[in-house]
Structure 1
Amino acid sequence: MSEHPHVEPAVPQMSGPRLTDFAAALAFPLDPFQQDACRALEDGHSVLVCAPTGAGKTVVGEFAVYLALQAGTKCFYTTPIKALSNQKYADLCARHGKAAVGLLTGDQSINADAPVVVMTTEVLRNMIYASSSSLIGLTHVVMDEVHFLADRFRGAVWEEVILHLPEDVRLASLSATVSNAEEFGEWMTTVRGDTTVVVDEVRPIPLHQHMMVGPRIYDLFDTTAEPADLPRRERRRGIVVNPELLAAVRRRLTADGADRWQGRGGRGFGSRNFRPLPRPDVITRLDRDGLLPAITFVFSRAGCDAAVLQCLRSGLHLTTEQEAAEIGRIVDEHTRELPRADLEVLGYSTWRTALERGIAAHHAGMLPAFRHTVEELFVRGLVRAVFATETLALGINMPARSVVLEKLVKYNGETHAELTPGEYTQLTGRAGRRGIDIEGHAVVLWQPGVEPATVAGLASTRTFPLRSSFRPSYNMAVNLIDAVGVERSRALLEMSFAQFQADKSVVGLTRGIERNEATLAKLRDELGGADSEILDYLTLRADLTAAEREHERRGRQDRRQEAVASLVVLRPGDIVAVPAGKHSGLAVVVTADQDAVDPRPQVVTPDGWSGRLSAGDFPAPAQLLGRLRLPRHVDHRTGRGRRDIASALRSKGLSAPRRPKRGKSKAHNREIDGLRRRLRSHPAHDRPDLESLTRLGERYHRLLRETQQQRRRAEATTDSLARTFERIVALLTERGYLTGGDDPETTDAGDRLARVYAEADLLVAECLRHRIWAGLSPAELAAVASSVIYESRTDDVISVRGPTGPSRTALAETIRMCDTLRADEVRHRLPPTREPDLGFVTAAFTWANSGSLTDALIAADTAGRELSPGDFVRWCRQLIDLLDQVRTCTDDPELARTAGRAVGAIRRGVVAIDPTAE
């Protein structure tokens, strides 16, 4: 389906000389949606294209490039991640020649003045704020994967770019299929002018859905049956699940001796004897059915690596001798720059053997050179079975004949959650290679708890709304104010897609308020009118109930504050009594937590359990019972470490005191006592019909409270972004980054903050302003700076000390600065800055001191942070980005030189190798 709010209806033949010439040079005919979108671009409109994975959206982006080249102007091609930028750069170089194409990704700059430059979206955002001369002559910007603006961490960048690009620049925005494309297009039209929305929901390669039960593969749907032929629970939105599949599942459950099972997506097996089909057997079955090459999504890096090892141990071979030799040649080409000494720690031998057999893993923990090799071999058809995490689904050009899902749950960074229909569609969208396959196949592996009806629901749902994640940041605030002033900044925020969606939600709230007001008027009439005696009495009664609840709430709050105060002062070695929770009894503190809002000290109990306690475990303040002398380096992560601490605690011979009973407060609340007296003396207190009227009055006041809440939500939603912006301005003014007054301007410190784009931007700026990072060596600076960008994959708190005296001091001061900043943020009701994470400090220091990759990974492991080679390279490159920002924005010449030397010390070996440069 295509929709054209601003363009004449499509005509069958190609129109426009540019489009005709462009299409003539292609090796394939343009699909109707591609013609529609390209025609809109040639007619001078911006365009939003929403189409399934593999449908050919990038052709529209390439036409924007073609238009700019033909007109002698510039086109920027933006992507959400560096890997996609590298891939697109290679594609455009092959099409237009290296002289016409450049690449900017933060850590790479190739031919930056070319008429066509591929870049990450962050780079374009930074160019806009810096008023870069590179924007002169820019006529087109391609925003690939624009639906990434829903990303809660980096999505705001897309909206910043859309809002701030010069008005005469045409946008070619390419998105996966979303159900609110028209809403997004309406907003684009509001802020950018004429925007044509083109939506295509037809996959170019049909996708067939299957489930694999044991060694057999069944179709998921029965396309011949009518829904009425099956029981209601086995129907899904008019789509019938294959009865043969349902019968096979029932037989398997019976054969396995299954108990009643619960849960979805494979969580909580109910079968006592269930054993999943071994992965090599799954691949063999797919091969026998002609369904290779296949990508199996495992959702775990360790699971991907384990799957490859299983296939190797089984003796599985998917290649011929000639193919294995060709694979070996390509592997040699891609890895010739790797230091030979690092090959063992990289697992090179096992990786190469698997590739030569046609098997590979693909995940972010792999070295970039290894990942790129896998991608090239897979596209060439030489690797036929890849076990991947979901990161592969984000735009990487690795289509397969089949996609296999082992489970329907994945870890989202906080918890294990079921796949959404959008995620399911994104993953299975890899199935079906255009120009090679006539159809693609999605295969879900059955296990107890994975119901066919659930899979059918995922496969048939087509509602994937795009939600804005836009929020103002410190860096954004100073850049906006410096560029357009505070009033215009506020107006721009109000033009964001986030505010656009919020304002639409207010319309629904307002309608609800109007309906409630009408009902309230009727209820008032039934109670005798607004001035009636009974309504006055019932209002008094509602006030009493509210006052009693508030009194109880304040009591709970006071008790919590007392508990928080008692937890904040605890130190390692303190023995406390835990009065409540499943770990009540004795505990010894091993890691203190001085968070003034929600302290969660890490403890070990006499039975060897280690975890964090919170104020909720202490209905009464924590009681200090004694002290335990802890080892100098506490290691509660290992079983042995916990057992040693628990044994020492038991040897103390202490016992937890009885939990004190919490008596009711005898203090009377004057307000409550007064309301009770007024109620008893009220003329309506003894009315015979009071009970029935009370029920009516409760309904009235319940609806009244709901309406008041809706009104507050509407008011808060209307200017939520503006309020956050005002709080940010207040904090920045207080800390000297903005001048005071009604029309603040950036100070020198604010100008430097404007050039810091790290997540912890204000913390970095404060460390530079207060000279916390001054006087360090390059390796020490790298170690300390890593603490503000690194983020552990686990929540374990591990005590890490800086490798040298100066680095320890700088780290302590950085943490102290963060604590004061977080306190100010809480006071201003702003989200607190993420605390420094010291898990990469020793690895960064070792590497920057010319240590080997092996030494750096061992250093990380010694500090309690096991790092994969891929993660190590990724964090090193993010550290280079930050150090480059430090170099350019500090007013300390010596620190700038040190940052430059630190960049050089890190950008070497595996970190410097660009796998896309061949």
Structure 2
Amino acid sequence: MPDIEPRGDELSGTAGPAEVNPDEAVGPELTAFAAGLRFALDPFQHRACVALEAGHGVLVCAPTGAGKTIVGEFAVHLALAAGTKCFYTTPIKALSNQKYADLVAVHGAAAVGLLTGDVAINPGAPVVVMTTEVVRNMIYAGSPALEGLSHVVMDEVHFLADRFRGAVWEEVILHLDPAVRVVSLSATVSNAEEFGDWIKTVRGDTTVIVDDHRPVPLSQHVLVGNRIFDLYEHAPHGPGKKGGREVNADLKRYIRHKMLTNDDRFSDSRGRGRGRGHRGGGGPRASRPDVVASLDRDGLLPAIMFIFSRKGCDGALAQCQRSRLSLLEPHEVAAVDEIVDKHLTDIAPADAEILGVEQWRAGLRRGFAAHHAGLLPTFRHAVEELFAGGLVKVVFATETLALGINMPARSVVLERLVKYNGEAHVDLTPGEFTQLTGRAGRRGIDTEGHAIVLWTPEVVPEQLAGLAGARTFPLRSSFVPEYNMAVNLLGRMGLAGAQELLHRSFAQFQADRSVVGQARKVDQARIRLRKTDAQLSELATARGIGRRDTEGDADNPGNGFLDYVDLRETIRRRERDLKFHRRVETNQSIVEDLGALKKGHVIGLQGRRHRGLAVVLEPAAHASDPKPLVLVEDAWCGRIDERDFVNPPQVLGNMRLPRHPDRSTGRGRRDLASALRATGIEMPRGRGNKRAPAADDAELKRLRTELRAHPAHRLDPGDQLFRLAEQRNRLLREILSAERDIASRTSTLGVTFSRIVDVLAELGYVTRTGDSVEVEDAGRLLGRIYSESDLLVTECLRAGVWEGLSHSDLAAVVSAMVYESRRDGAGGVDSVPGNPRLRGALTDTVEVWQRLNEVERRHRVSATREPDTGFSVAVAMWSSGRSLTDSLAAAGQAGQLLSPGDFVRWNRQVIDLLEQIRISVGPDAPLSTTAARAVGSIRRGVVAAELG
């Protein structure tokens, strides 16, 4: 276990066998490195660098903007000084690009390379910046680039909690050669010591540095209307009650006054007021231009305003452009034009209009811009450069900007404390709030940073204070075995080695630690159970019953009280089982009837989520999991399933509908609801069949007869024996539950891995012989495909369903493996017009997917997602040489409203997978030639400009 040394500055650390003293004389390399810095090292930076030069790995947890990357840059310095290699890894390509530029500025282009899947610059350099997936792939491929590697920097290592990509970080940490020093840089997490313990267990000597100190203090504010209030009372004599800080009384009074007077300045950006309970959409109480003007007036620019949607960011920019707001001086406007022109050199004039170049430039010339994933990367890069240079004063951004990109601001504004997570609107967590507001405060420029929340009626100051004051952000592993991981582990380590590596994962480490607490609970419960049993035995004997049949006294054999209690429990279980079977039968009927509903059928909803009449707008697409689209008489529109029914749905009537009912607008939904109510169809009364399933059960009748005949049945139900028996049963349930929890926590990874191996064995990727597993040629092919749909891609390659396609058709079908539509119901094969060869390949691909899903279902493995053809037409047109305008228009006709940034991003992913296919099938395969041609045809215009 690491030794933690608390310090007055909240610095803590651990080391290996030899303790690292932060006050010891620094080594020659740290002296040389520090001499080139513009500022002195902070204590946590000094301690981490001393540990690195002493030969230790390090884990550094510090707030956003504290300067963690200095430690990573020192690792680069050490590798160059020793003539070895350093990999600098990041979670996103934008951060890799930025870090590459930073290191080139210091060490020169000859010493630094960049690898991000679709970009390869100087890959043989001694220092290479790359996304984390690239180094993982190198390890599995046994790349010669790993030779001479001495340091690996893992920036934003807390990303291993990401449920989609987090396992990659653990794979790298587990697989790297033990001689490689890992430099892990993380945002502040509350379980840093636990994470450090794990790294020390799997990597050896590791120093853990935890620093909660911000180099630039952060002040919390609330903007109410056009007035900015401090969130907290000023406390010159220390913290307030209970170690916390008191909420500003003036702020609370002002909010109460405005709520009582219903001040119309609290209407949203369209001039509409909202009720106290509103939690959904709408703008801030002041318009965005007014908010920016308030920030400018109070000297709080430059600022980042986080708005949790692309549409919201673009809307905020449009509002500012329509206003008279201008934040730049004439000489600054000229500087903006110069930088913008530099970034537009690779943009074809013919594409300028559809890309909105002039409108984008007009906003920049007035000092404001949007920043989100839907923007063309060229635009984002220009915004980042202009903001860093003080030429953009306000950026309206989504939360992706908070992930490592160096765009420090004097203030950060949060428009809302709720965001959409892809499934529902949820409150920001303390960790997310800290990550976002951490961008405020520029080191060496600002004396303090400012975090500002825009007040709305749902913002309660006390709750906001709790959110701002919390620092709880536990790091939880998301490590789960996948197909590609499985074949690579089996190929490199064999079955026993793969299982051992799973046991060394952070996920298993955390599970084992939690099991210790659960085992302690079991021991304590067993002690209480023994005491309860003794009391119960003594009291039962006093009642003349005995404890058990086998333990009853000589005068009362066969009359044990616990046997009576067990009989009661048996009856309860029998009743529950009968009800369960009845419910299963009902649910099956509900599923069947839902699948049979047609467009225009009117049904009644009586579930917990929705109630009332509903008309079917779209029948269910899948009979096995039917989810028809309905509109309820209160104008709610959405998909329903068996959870919305107590009994099978009954068709109450029919309603005539237009061919394409308008369900996308509020007015259209209200008109449909009005027409539904006008049909005169009424909801049936009652809740349907309530027949008790136990009424005719012979076994249940026998058990009840036996219960009534038992001597204990004459006892008063309030007798202490029954209270002791209930206490005993409660303890038994607690023990059983804890033991199941222990078993599940310690075996989940192993069970998942075993099921995946079973799938691979059935499909011929591996061969199992007793306790050994051998990877076949197909498995080695799968091991070279790194995709969310890796097994489906490999199955299609094996089946030859993509052979003989043109290069543009191959690009189209490969895009279905990576693309994900932003709205439900889009992206089926039927959405691809014309081209019988392409439609046939897509149909064959879907059939391969369906067969694969059947295998996965049998082995209880999470299903591979369905191919999505929503981008197929657009990429096929682009690959065939059509214009950007035509390609984006084709996407729109297919129901996919793609921004230019999305278009480039999805093309990048298609290129990445095509390159994997080209390499995997071998240079002599015709498909390899087609894939190479497809890559070349896509890599042009705006896509080529972004790939470099």
Which category describes the TM-score, using the shorter chain as reference length? Answer: over 0.9
Question: Can you give the 5+ residue segments of structure 1 that lack an aligned partner in the other structure?
Answer: 230-234, 259-264
Q: 829, 832, 838: which is aligned to 1:807?
A: 838
Alignment match, 1:914: 946
Instruction: Find out whether 1:86 has 2:97 as its counterpart.
Output: yes
Deviations 1:118-151 (A, max 9, x none): 1100000000000011111111101111011011
8 Å CA contact 1:590, 1:634 repeated in 2? no
How far did residue 646 of structure 1 move?
9.5
8 Å CA contact 1:586, 1:655 repeated in 2? no
Instruction: Find out whether 1:501 has 2:510 as its counterpart.
Output: yes
Deviations 1:263-291 (A, max 9, x none): xx9983499x9971222122112112211
Greater shift, 738-747 or 190-199, is seen at: 738-747
| Whole-angstrom CA distance in 2 between matches of 1:844 and 1:257 | 52
1:691-770 alignment runs, 5 A limit: 691-741=719-769, 742-770=771-799
Cα separation, partners in 2 of 1:605 and 1:787, compared to 1, 3 Å: farther
8 Å CA contact 1:51, 1:177 repeated in 2? yes
8 Å CA contact 1:214, 1:277 repeated in 2? yes
Q: Secondary structure of the residue that 1:719 maps to in structure 2?
A: helix
Q: Secondary structure of the residue that 1:10 maps to in structure 2?
A: coil
| Whole-angstrom CA distance in 1 between matches of 2:94 and 2:850 | 35
Alignment match, 1:893: 925
8 Å CA contact 2:614, 2:630 repeated in 1? no
Greater shift, 756-765 or 390-399, is seen at: 756-765
How far did residue 603 of structure 1 move?
4.5
State TM-score, norm by structure 2.
0.90
Q: Secondary structure of the residue that 2:459 maps to in structure 1?
A: coil
| Whole-angstrom CA distance in 2 between matches of 1:868 and 1:137 | 43
Letter in 1 for 2:786: Y
Question: Can you give the 5+ residue segments of structure 2 that lack an aligned partner in the other structure?
Answer: 1-10, 265-273, 539-546, 553-559
8 Å CA contact 2:383, 2:392 repeated in 1? yes
Deviations 1:168-206 (A, max 9, x none): 100111111111111111100100001000111111111
| Whole-angstrom CA distance in 2 between matches of 1:311 and 1:641 | 31
Instruction: Find out whether 1:322 has 2:331 as its counterpart.
Output: yes
Letter in 2 for 1:81: I
Greater shift, 600-609 or 641-650, is seen at: 641-650
Q: Secondary structure of the residue that 2:219 maps to in structure 1?
A: strand
Sequence identity, in percent? 56
Cα separation, partners in 2 of 1:646 and 1:298, compared to 1, 3 Å: closer
Instruction: Find out whether 1:878 has 2:909 as its counterpart.
Output: yes
Greater shift, 325-334 or 243-252, is seen at: 243-252
How far did residue 792 of structure 1 move?
2.3
Instruction: Find out whether 1:672 has 2:700 as its counterpart.
Output: yes
8 Å CA contact 1:181, 1:199 repeated in 2? yes
8 Å CA contact 1:574, 1:624 repeated in 2? no
Letter in 2 for 1:50: C
How far did residue 613 of structure 1 move?
2.4
State TM-score, norm by structure 1.
0.92
8 Å CA contact 1:588, 1:649 repeated in 2? no
Cα separation, partners in 2 of 1:652 and 1:267, compared to 1, 3 Å: closer
8 Å CA contact 2:602, 2:655 repeated in 1? no
| Whole-angstrom CA distance in 1 between matches of 2:443 and 2:727 | 61
8 Å CA contact 1:880, 1:903 repeated in 2? yes
Letter in 1 for 2:832: G
Greater shift, 898-907 or 574-583, is seen at: 574-583
8 Å CA contact 1:576, 1:622 repeated in 2? no
| Whole-angstrom CA distance in 1 between matches of 2:219 and 2:213 | 13
| Whole-angstrom CA distance in 1 between matches of 2:134 and 2:20 | 37
Q: Secondary structure of the residue that 1:49 maps to in structure 2?
A: strand
Q: 453, 456, 480: which is aligned to 1:447?
A: 456
| Whole-angstrom CA distance in 1 between matches of 2:846 and 2:667 | 30
| Whole-angstrom CA distance in 1 between matches of 2:807 and 2:671 | 39
Letter in 1 for 2:731: L
Q: Secondary structure of the residue that 2:774 maps to in structure 1?
A: coil
1:303-318 alignment runs, 5 A limit: 303-318=312-327
Alignment match, 2:52: 41
Cα separation, partners in 2 of 1:690 and 1:216, compared to 1, 3 Å: closer
| Whole-angstrom CA distance in 2 between matches of 1:207 and 1:311 | 27
1:342-361 alignment runs, 5 A limit: 342-361=351-370
How far did residue 630 of structure 1 move?
9.5
Cα separation, partners in 2 of 1:268 and 1:367, compared to 1, 3 Å: farther
How far did residue 77 of structure 1 move?
0.6
| Whole-angstrom CA distance in 2 between matches of 1:649 and 1:777 | 50
1:488-567 alignment runs, 5 A limit: 488-528=497-537, 531=548, 533-567=560-594
Q: 769, 775, 778: which is aligned to 2:807?
A: 778
| Whole-angstrom CA distance in 2 between matches of 1:256 and 1:650 | 35
Greater shift, 386-395 or 742-751, is seen at: 742-751
Instruction: Find out whether 1:384 has 2:415 as its counterpart.
Output: no
Deviations 1:358-416 (A, max 9, x none): 11111111110000000000000011111111110000000001111111111111111
Deviations 1:667-724 (A, max 9, x none): 6334433322221222211124664422332232123112201110101111210111
Alignment match, 2:627: 600
Alignment match, 1:819: 850
Letter in 2 for 1:763: L
Q: 832, 836, 844: which is aligned to 2:875?
A: 844
8 Å CA contact 1:578, 1:617 repeated in 2? no
How far did residue 564 of structure 1 move?
2.2
Greater shift, 280-289 or 166-175, is seen at: 280-289
Alignment match, 1:868: 899
8 Å CA contact 1:236, 1:457 repeated in 2? no
Q: 94, 104, 112: which is aligned to 1:101?
A: 112
| Whole-angstrom CA distance in 1 between matches of 2:276 and 2:142 | 52
Instruction: Find out whether 1:242 has 2:248 as its counterpart.
Output: yes
How far did residue 822 of structure 1 move?
2.5
Letter in 2 for 1:222: E
Cα separation, partners in 2 of 1:66 and 1:308, compared to 1, 3 Å: same
| Whole-angstrom CA distance in 1 between matches of 2:631 and 2:533 | 59
| Whole-angstrom CA distance in 1 between matches of 2:714 and 2:882 | 87
1:20-39 alignment runs, 5 A limit: 20-39=31-50
Letter in 1 for 2:893: T
Q: Secondary structure of the residue that 2:946 maps to in structure 1?
A: coil
The root-mean-square deviation of aligned C-alpha atoms, in Å, is 3.1
Alignment match, 1:5: 15
Letter in 1 for 2:188: T
Greater shift, 835-844 or 288-297, is seen at: 835-844
| Whole-angstrom CA distance in 2 between matches of 1:790 and 1:369 | 22
Number of corresponding residues: 903
Deviations 1:312-339 (A, max 9, x none): 2211010011110110111111012112
Letter in 2 for 1:615: E
| Whole-angstrom CA distance in 2 between matches of 1:418 and 1:214 | 22
